[in-house]
Structure 1
Amino acid sequence: MNKNILYIGIAVIAGLLAGYLIFGGSTQTSNTDTENSNISDDHDHSGESMVQMWTCSMHPQIMQPESGDCPICGMDLIPAETSADGLAMNEIKMTKNAMALANVQTVKVGNTSSDRENAVSLSGTIKLNEEANAIQASYFDGRIERLNIDYVGQEVKKGQLLATIYAPNLVAAQQELITAASLKESQPELYRAVRNKLQLWKLTERQINSIEDTGKVLENFPIYATVSGTVSEKLASEGDYVKQGQPILKVSNLNSVWAEFDVYENQIAQFKVGQKIKIISNAYPNKVFDASVSFIDPVLNTRTRTVAIRAVLQNNDRLFKPGMFVSGKIESSTTSPSGQLSIPATAVMWTGERSLVYIKTNPNEPVFEMREITLGNRNGDDFTVVSGLENGDEIVTNGTYTVDAAAQLQGKKSMMNKDRLTAESEAPIMKIELPQAFQVSFRAALDHYIDMKDAFVESNSKQVSVYAKSTSQKLKTINLEGLGKMEKTHLTKSIKMLDAIGDNPNLENQRAHFVMLNENFVPLAKNIDGLNERLYIKKCPMANNNKGAFWLSNQKEIRNPYYGEQMMTCGSIIDSIQ
């Protein structure tokens, strides 16, 4: 009886426990779900759709959805700014603080009006009027005993004594004159010939008559100024020996000067000789000087892509000094069509081949994108736009280079890189045909090269030298018969670099030569057939002063020979040799 009661009690307890587990847990779960449902209703999930991207501080073009190592340099990735989410590939976003610090200003592109002032602003300098320059030269060989001109800028007058010269030839000619004077009755032709020779040496009639009358020979002869002006260049000094016709001084007449301006290639058609130009000097900002274009250089300066135009300015009051900066405004001979787009010159960045601007792509946010445009003529401080912009586009007019710098830092298309940066680039490989005998000998040298590369990885300069010498010896045994000029050059330079590596114990110097070695060695290796194992062509973008450098390896794992332990995994595989 007691046993039955015990069994019944155990069954009741088990039933209660089972009911609690089934219905009680369900109720709790239901309550929990209700709570979670309420939390879900109140919680803002807008941020959960934003995927956190990770980038490299040294290679901002790397963007990955999770943390890890940079595939280029091996550095730890850092969280990318979430503010860049939702932007197009080459768009950048600046903070309001950065915009304020750089004083970034924008303006909407508009059309030119038909009644707009059609003047072109130019910048230039005051230069010497070369038409008014004169050279004071020596008329005979001799030594300058005295030079009466002490400094550049000194004023000289026509007829002023410039220098005194000792001339041995003139001493002999004076003796001839004295002798010929005694024979002028019997030999008049000889007498006239001697006098003419002295006249050609710029001696005056008075000087010649004095020599003839006194019978005394002068040792030192004077040189007089033939023009008035300002000494612009001193070409000789006291004690110098000069030849007949050798310049002593350069004298410039500053009563007139040139105002010379540079005109861009796309502006040339707007100018012609005779056009009126108004000139303002920085020294006299409240004065306007009127002149006319007197010369247009027929030759384009290929370095600056400009042509010089010139105007002559009267300078009797010596207001203009050669070297002064001036600005000019000239009425353009062409007119801008009504309705043509126009932008400020400050908005344009020049790269030599391209004209670039930054447009604001979001009217409510500081989001910008670079755009290449084609420009027309320049009118004053504005350019007309041929293509690339539309009426109403908003462009950066101040702080343009700051925006471009931000684009470069974010790895976007910018002034310096036409396309987005990429993690890989192709090695300098060319397809060449190599003789079979060459390939056999070259394959033997590859093993020694791989050993040398491994020594570079370990930063062991002594082993590097050993393997560089053995690799060089292998290459020196190659028969050059059948090789083309280019192949011989690659081989010769490879041997030269290996010898330099082997002879220099300095590791940094060895690595510098290793860069040049691979530029010649890798193209040859690329064209070798029948290798025992696959070789990988790898590149470190940071080596060679961030220009990038290549190397060969028989391992897929990146082990950098240019930095060793400092940056062991910096680099990437860009190709392989089967």
Structure 2
Amino acid sequence: MKSLNKSVMAITLLLSVAFTNAQIKNAKTETVKIFGNCGMCETTIEKAGSLNKLASVDWDKDTKMAAITYDSAKTNPDEILKRIALAGYDSEKFLAPTDAFNTLPGCCQYEREAKVAEKMEMSSMNTMGGHDNHSDVSVTTKEQVNQLKLVFDDYFLLKDALVKTDASVASMKAKELLTAIATVKMEDLKMEEHMAWMKVYKELGSDVKSISETQDIKIQRDFFKSVSKNMYELMKVSKTDTPTYYQYCPMVKANWLSKENEVKNPYYGSKMMSCGKTVETIK
């Protein structure tokens, strides 16, 4: 009977993967072990890892094995497993953050295998400066920092142009910011940055593009509201060398980010330069 049940599960999994492959372009499928307990775990794991027409996860609670099908031109297994880890579930490659694991319902708090934790600890030690990988890791870390730093720096230049009510310069700086956004390699970001980037990059890119395509300062400022909201989400999860000030204008009910605590309002410029206040300091 057990043999029959296993055969049925295997056939079901194959049929599911075949159907998924038909829905996802450039489809590749890999299997990986993901730890969990129950049907609720299955729902959470599959929801966290799946993206419409880009990735699909089919997890079996008995074998703990997941079939990951993905569009190889647009994503990869690491991105999928990172999302699952942030939902609280360890895999062979990524260990879930402790706080994410602790928020799982009691029935979902699986026994965390020591060998997985040990593997991740060793990986962390290597990342922090193991002899064999030191030079490679240093390059990766530098890329992680520089990628978003360039985005932030170009955002501040765009903000400064709006403070000066210079639509022409704002358009030019928006084009530079758009280039910085396009060069970000999502797979090289730290996990928290990666997740934040996935949530904001499409809207962020679209809004910045809209600013770059117009010389109307009012339209530029309207789109800048959304740009600032999404940049705030990125800034919160990124480590910066200096404080960043999140400021608010009550007249337009919108925020912006600044490297200076002194208020210089990008929504009104010289008309109401000091209108607003700092509502949060990000360190």
Place the TM-score, normalised by the shorter chain, in its bin.
0.3 to 0.5
More contact order relative to length (CA 8 Å, sep ≥ 6): 1
When the two structures are superposed, what TM-score results if normalisation uses the length of structure 1?
0.23
Greater strand percent: which structure? Answer: 1
Q: Which has the larger radius of gyration?
A: 1
More helix by share: 2
